[in-house]
């Protein structure tokens, strides 16, 4: 494969994000099955109505902790989910002390360890759908860029494959697999009286 051909295929360069939700909420990704990413935890949060407040529990504020990260390589259709807390004994100990102090962590075997690194590959359709999902989360401020250039929606649209209609579905249904097939399916449904 020549360099020119390679460039035309790899429209979106590799990039990495960290979950940094303004209200410390986890993110459930639809395009990677069973992928739940923990947000960074900050004592200062923005409520749904836009007001800023400091979180406390029993008069204590939680320690600042980093969020889980997702690194994506659209060209190779690969991803890596990592947790900066995994293997960081000092950060885990701070969280343990806070949870113990507020009565949420009891017993000697309750240790905070973080989540081990997970990596995998996706087909081109799921990767394209994942990249668009991440662009949307970047626009809403639920995640932040930590590596590489921010993906552009127009560039994501040029990736090979088709957008999945319902990437998080776990049950069989009669819906089409791809968004592009939805109008024809709806028209057929209307003709059939559905």
Q: How many domains does the chain have?
A: 2
For 122-176, where are the E strands, in sequence order?
A: 143-147
**For 73-103, how does the pLDDT look when each residue is reduced to its tens digit (9 = 90+)?**
999 999 999 999 999 999 999 999 999 888 8
Contact yes or no for 132/138 (Cβ under 8 A): no
Domain residue limits at 18: 9-161
Cα separation, 194 vs 180, whole angstroms = 20
Q: How distant is the alpha carbon of residue 109 from its chain centre?
A: 30
Q: Classify residue 121: in a domain, yes or no.
A: yes
List, in order, residues 6 or more apart from 59 with CB less than 8 Å away.
none
Decide the pairing of beta strands 15-19 and 69-73.
antiparallel
Examine the domain organization and report whether 94 and 181 are in the same domain. no
Examine the domain organization and report whether 153 and 94 are in the same domain. yes
- pTM for the full predicted model: 0.86
Higher pLDDT, 163 or 50: 163
**For 67-76, how does the pLDDT look when each residue is reduced to its tens digit (9 = 90+)?**
999 999 999 9
Examine the domain organization and report whether 51 and 118 are in the same domain. yes
Q: What value does the mean pLDDT take over residues 43-47? A: 84
Lowest-confidence range among 8-12, 36-40, 46-50? 8-12
pLDDT of residue 108: 65
Q: Classify residue 1: in a domain, yes or no.
A: no
Examine the domain organization and report whether 177 and 155 are in the same domain. no
**For 100-143, how does the pLDDT look when each residue is reduced to its tens digit (9 = 90+)?**
888 888 776 778 899 999 999 999 999 999 999 999 999 999 99
H or E stretch at 132: helix 124-140
């Amino acid at each position: 494969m020549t360099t020119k051909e390679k460039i035309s295929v790899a429209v979106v360069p590799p990039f990495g994000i960290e979950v940094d939700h303004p209200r410390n909420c986890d993110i459930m990704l639809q395009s990677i099955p069973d992928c739940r990413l923990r947000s960074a935890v900050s004592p200062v949060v923005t409520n749904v109505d836009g007001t800023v407040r400091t979180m406390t529990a029993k008069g204590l504020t939680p320690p600042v902790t980093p969020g889980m990260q997702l690194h994506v390589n659209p060209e190779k259709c690969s991803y890596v989910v990592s947790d900066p807390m995994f293997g960081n004994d000092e950060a885990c100990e701070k969280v343990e002390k806070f949870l113990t102090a507020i009565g949420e962590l009891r017993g000697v075997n309750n240790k905070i360890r973080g989540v081990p690194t997970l990596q995998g590959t996706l087909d081109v359709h799921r990767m394209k759908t994942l990249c668009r999902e991440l662009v949307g989360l970047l626009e809403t401020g639920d995640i932040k860029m930590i590596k590489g250039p921010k993906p552009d929606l127009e560039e994501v649209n040029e990736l090979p494959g088709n957008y999945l209609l319902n990437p998080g579905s776990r049950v069989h249904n009669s819906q089409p697999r791809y968004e592009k097939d939805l109008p024809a399916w709806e028209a057929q449904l209307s003709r059939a009286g559905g």
